[in-house]
Amino acid sequence: MNSTCYIAGLGTSVPEKKLSNFDFEKIMDTSNEWIVSRTGIKTRHVLAEGQNISDIAYEASLKAIVDAKIDKSEITHILVATCSPQKLSPSLACILAQNLGLSSTSGLQTISTHNPSLVCFDFNAACSGFIYGLEIARAFLALHSNSTILLVTAEGLSRRLNFQDRTTSILFGDGAGAVILRNHGDYLYKVHDVSLGSDGDYCDLIQIGGGTEFEAKVGDVVDESFFLTMQGREVFKSAVRGMAQESLKLLEKNSLTVNDIDLFITHQANLRIIEAVGERLSISQDKVFTNLEKYGNTSASSILLAMEEAREQGKLKKGAKTLLTAFGSGLTWGSALLS
Ligand code: COA
């Protein structure tokens, strides 16, 4: 089976509105010094009133389409990784299809009869969403060789943060990313391999409420369970272990060592977690890319925000071996190898 998968275009978008650590000082008992020393985060972007993740997902998608030099009508699949969907239903992928002006008939003009309609759906692998999305796309590409896949990450976690909880609310920000994935034509980077894992025994460690578990009726007031809750210390340890182990597993599977890696981009959750993963892998710190000080933890979008900035700085290069790794609620984790 042909598992070739290329990233042909890349785009990102964050809301304009920013929240700095000093803004948090005004609303809770915290300090810029505490947040920077424990997390490395200085500021994050958050959705403004009336703004939705579909707005930033749309902008990121348009940038990826332009970057890939394709016509949007070539898109056969829209896959959206999110753990903070705009609605329980319909999927953000379908909302995006509408906003992009795509329909199943527009897809019919350019794709093979084996794949006659546009396929849109969301999936939730939390902060590991982008890596999971690469693997889902590889499977679709293997089954339907002429596919042009728009893989989007879109998170609006600020809408599910409890701003009375200083240990969680300071960590997260909103953002979106998008890539065009194909197995033919010009490309930016090749996806060599992906390795994924999950462990439901730890599903209590990070939770976001608001689903059908919430037995609501009109007029009810929400409580803390509606928002993101987390056991920070446990998550910290599992994140370091999960990202380091999965990365080593993927390298070994591809007969590579850490020394072969030119650039290492991890999920941007916490600078101390990233440093600890780097230490476990014994990778030189100048190969480790971080930009979480500007965005906080944008969940599924963090790797794409980092990849875009690494590209702008000339650090993410075609042909160079790039290792990606992520970890999140579920628990879920995964690593991917690009070149
Ligand atoms: N400002 C000031 N003090 C704070 C604070 C804040 N924003 N948040 C917590 N504290 C306090 C706590 O109340 C506690 O005080 P106490 O000792 O008087 O009880 C103290 O700091 C230590 O709290 P603790 O939770 O043990 O801190 P920590 O060193 O584990 O850091 C996190 C907390 C959340 C930064 C850290 O656990 C972490 O980063 N975990 C991983 C989170 C993550 O990345 N999740 C997403 C993964 S996808």
> 83: burial class by Cβ within 10 Å (0-12, 13-18, 19+)?
buried
Residue 167 CA to ligand 1 centre (angstroms):
5
Per-residue pLDDT tens for 124-176?
999 999 999 999 999 999 999 899 999 999 999 999 999 999 999 999 999 99
- Output the average pLDDT for the chain: 94
244 and 280 in contact (C-beta within 8 Å)? yes
Give 150 Cα–ligand 1 centroid separation in angstroms.
Answer: 36
Say whether 127 is catalytic. Answer: yes
Site to substitute for ligand 1 among 160, 164, 167, 207, most atoms within 8 A of C-beta: 167
- Count of H-run helices and E-run strands, the chain: 11, 14
In terms of C-beta density within 10 A (0-12 exposed, 13-18 middle, 19 or more buried), how is residue 227 classed?
Answer: buried
List ligand 1's pocket residues with C-beta within 6 A: 30, 34-35, 38-39, 127, 166-167, 170-171, 230, 232-233, 235-236, 239, 269-270, 273, 297, 327-328
Confidence check: pLDDT of 323 > 50: yes
Pairing between β-strand 322-328 and β-strand 332-338 as defined by DSSP bridges: antiparallel
Residue 332 and residue 197: Cα distance in Å, rounded? 6
pLDDT in tens, 246-278: 999 999 999 999 999 999 999 999 999 999 999
pLDDT band of residue 11 (cuts 50, 70, 90) is: very high
Give pTM, 2 decimals.
Answer: 0.95
Residues 92-119: what's their mean pLDDT? 72
